[in-house]
Chains A and B, each alone.
With several copies, the nearest count.
Chain A
Amino acid sequence: MINKVVKNADEAVKDIPSGAVLMLGGFGLCGIPENSISALLKTGVKNLTCISNNAGVDDFGIGLMLKTHQVKKMISSYVGENAEFERQLLSGELEVDLIPQGTLAERVRAGGAGIPAFYTPAGYGTEVAEGKETREFDGKMYLLESWLRADFSLVKAWKGDTAGNLIFKGTARNFNPMMAAAGKITIAEVEELVPAGELDPNEIHTPGIYVQRIFKGVDYEKRIEQRTVTS
């Protein structure tokens, strides 16, 4: 099997240039590539376009990259509570493209799967439809939406093997598998890295063909946004 292992996050992200288009997996703070984000803070690349369902919080996730002014544009479905984000947006430092979550998921999936465009009903009749082609199928109206692809995709999995095969945990899967497929170079960080052959081929969520680099992440914080418990 092809070996995709790199030493660590610094090694994995070192050639990401300023101006690159990145995809970052995760929903809220769940399943985000914590190590790759930390490494990008150190390389200091600028003018990044970040495709990610959310933009983190002020002091975690993509929020950290906003603080260091490394992000030029966010493509997201929900940018949540993030004071620095709001400030940069209002001051014009940051561009934002808001996309319905299912359309975002499908556009990324299309990017990985070689489908340049597809029709979806989401957003028809709303401002999301402005400037987009519309069309009726079986009496219902749809919008034409195009694929999204990235120069680099940064994903986070639970287990991975040296061939780049990935297994996610719980709802930390979310956008990660589609983004893995839609990146020209996909960098996967995992909590547990095993030799090829140790994962059951029938239980793998992301085939290694989509992953160019894989490393074992360290010090996962896995911050929780809404800690809700029953007593």
Chain B
Amino acid sequence: MALDKIGIAKRIAQEVQDGMYINLGIGIPTLVANYIPEELNVVLQSENGLLGIGRFPTEEEVDADLINAGKQTITMRDGSVLFDSSESFGMIRGGHVDLTILGAMEVSENGDIANWKIPGKMVKGMGGAMDLVASAKNIIVAMQHTSRSGDSKLLKECSLPITGINCVRKIVTNLAVLEVQEEGGFLLLERAPGVTVDEIKEATAGKLIVNGDVPEMKIN
């Protein structure tokens, strides 16, 4: 059975390691925060100027001057730091953020990502996405394997305007966990529970690499 959004978030949470500084994009990536094991010490970065995003505030705690990059009201954890946008993107560009998790409309088999613009539709802008994908050491994409119309989002080449080239390392979809290979291609690492390799092949337009038995994801 294909994963729902929470399933994708839970699976990505397994990629998180103790001591990581993490930037979570809007959408499914934001949900990942809820499933990071309590015993791991990690710090969430918000590119509008905060290290140490906490839970959402209570009504009494709401502070218009404290929001995340998705413009949601938030709180700070103990040990948080506030800074300006230049410092924030210095941090990102300088490779200090260990893990970036973001959504995508398309990923190509050489790791290009498209997630900011659809020709013919109103362009809202790339925000910090281009800086994040051009800078992060470790980028995991969270997305549906196929579009609503059933087209694969894992392609040989992106058809949409791209956000960055050659940058995605891992992809977690509703169907699979895949790793982008240096030489190109999506190496199939895990299947969603009950999903067959053939179903994944069917849904993948880019080059899919299957090496031997592919285990099922373990999601609690």
Instruction: List residues of chain A with CB under 8 Å of any chain B CB.
Output: 1-3, 27-31, 53, 76-81, 86, 89-90, 96, 98, 100-106, 108-109, 111-115, 120-128, 158, 161-163, 165, 168-178, 181, 195-197, 201-202, 204-205, 207-210, 222-231
Contact = CB atoms under 8 A, between A and B. Distances in A.
Given A124-B164, A201-B52, 7 more contacts: A1-B52, A102-B85, A113-B91, A121-B134, A209-B91, A229-B57, A230-B55
B58 interface: yes
Given A181-B94, A229-B57, A78 B85 contact: no
Contact of A226 (B59, B71, B92): B71
Chain A interface mostly helix, strand, loop or mixed? loop
Given A114-B94, A229-B59, A204 B72 contact: no
CB-CB nearest 3 A-B residue pairs = A197-B78, A196-B79, A102-B89
Contacts, number: 250
Interface of B: 18-19, 21, 41-43, 45-52, 55-59, 62-74, 76-97, 112, 122-131, 134-135, 161-166
B122 A86 contact: yes
A126 B48 contact: no
Contact of A126 (B47, B86, B91, B130): B130
Given A170-B66, A171-B66, A122 B50 contact: no
A47 B41 CA distance: 37
A171 B65 contact: yes
B131 A78 contact: no
28 contacts: A2-B18, A29-B71, A90-B122, A98-B126, A102-B128, A102-B135, A109-B86, A111-B94, A114-B92, A124-B134, A124-B164, A124-B165, A125-B162, A126-B163, A126-B165, A163-B79, A170-B67, A171-B48, A174-B49, A178-B85, A181-B90, A196-B78, A201-B82, A228-B57, A229-B57, A229-B59, A229-B62, A230-B56
